[in-house]
Chain A
């Protein structure tokens, strides 16, 4: 059976098992087992969801019977009435909240969401996060134990779910599993179930950034800054969808940080060339973002935008008000110094920024910038 179609069914099927009386952890295990059987199987199934429910329920009963008889007696499950299919959207929604429960660490919430909502296997999640499968298995089973006592019916704060989805998206696409694409799928599914503006805002933000992915790195993995990207390779279909989702959210007039970030991404997407970017409006959106979050990284990005809107000296003045220990502060300072014509300082700052970089592609990019300026300063070309 089609794996991606099956994975979409996972949260609803877990929900069905839980409503029939299974504990969350046992239900989740049973559905994973059923999923493995389904992916391995060659047979054509007319009703994949019904098939998955039947097989998962059988797996659950087998596992439960293998447990102690005490547990079996407590299991009133066989007598539970069959649930109506209409409730499955709510089941899936509750599962998002459960997997992002505030009692979980961010890493646990991410892993549990990818398994129970995303339907990924432990091995796939371990590969994506570059940890041993046994470590990821432990992380997931601990997470399941942590939320086992949480009542499945209680809705939570959507912000916790969004934070988890944002983290998944942020991880990008290092392994075989494209986590950015998976985050978009899960956010799209969430957006279809709730009318929350920030869910739409996050979906728009992801779509707009994902649209530029082909332009963001060269085939050999070099970072390409936004201004130098080949805009003809941007995915116009994703941009159109992102803008549409964002406009619908903004029209409801309940601004949040993801909508503001998406609005900035949309303004970049809207510029046919880097020189035509509406930096004045972007600064205004950063003002909103700073007002909403007080986030120092938003202030840093705002300073860079000010540098574009009002000139590099204004940008440097805005930057001077911020903590120099902020991530990418030195890189932003290097960029603004070069724009202000101070190449020696820019070269020095780029080299310094490379030493502080958190990722290899970023470090290599900043080192190339320093090397480029040093070559210019030596008069190599």
Chain B
């Protein structure tokens, strides 16, 4: 178990050693975002903006215009929320080479409560032209995603979490921006997931297997550019999809999957995520249970979507018999 933010902090230090153009900004949360590790080793290349996210993003843009590769970090709610227009105008519009790494995404922020739990950042960032949006599942994938972001020329938003999460990728895994990965093959339905929900989907697939149901698990570590081909392939081959994200069901992964399938291969979909509500205080595990983001909830969603798949097949038979 390792939190994705910890993997980020360690990877930043490695990148800092390899490339003098890497600079890091934070907004008074460096202990929590783990950029403090970088600031200790490279104090001259670390800029604390103070509690001023808008200016942090603007300074990052200026540093990039001056040839640096800035990583700017704060909590997801402040990055995508408070500094949204700065990300739009100063980063996305000019394709500025800045990486916004937002930690504390989703409800597993826990006790700090709904004010600090970002449930809309993926939707907001995904709507911006030129923006690349990443949401890795675990520590090793985060390390690879941060390296891929650093190597990529242009603005990137990376969503990370506060809580420790299980390791599902091997150490030194690779990360290809825009490409999803099939982690478990299956033929009857597909879980399409991102972030920490991927580990939960793997558990849910195991539970379904015991009941004789073959579930595929597709992990999308990139929300944008969206891997439409992999999503359509899974829908075509399994005929039913459950999406799961630690985010609102509106506009994020579930929204993107529905858009892709409505246009490319209409398929029954069940979306697991926050049902248009804000979070609240509680432990991460209590909150995941309360808002329906556990493997058991994924199994229930799979059963619902399999019923709809059967009904769709039945009505297709009726139609063809009538015709």
> Are A and B subunits of one complex?
no
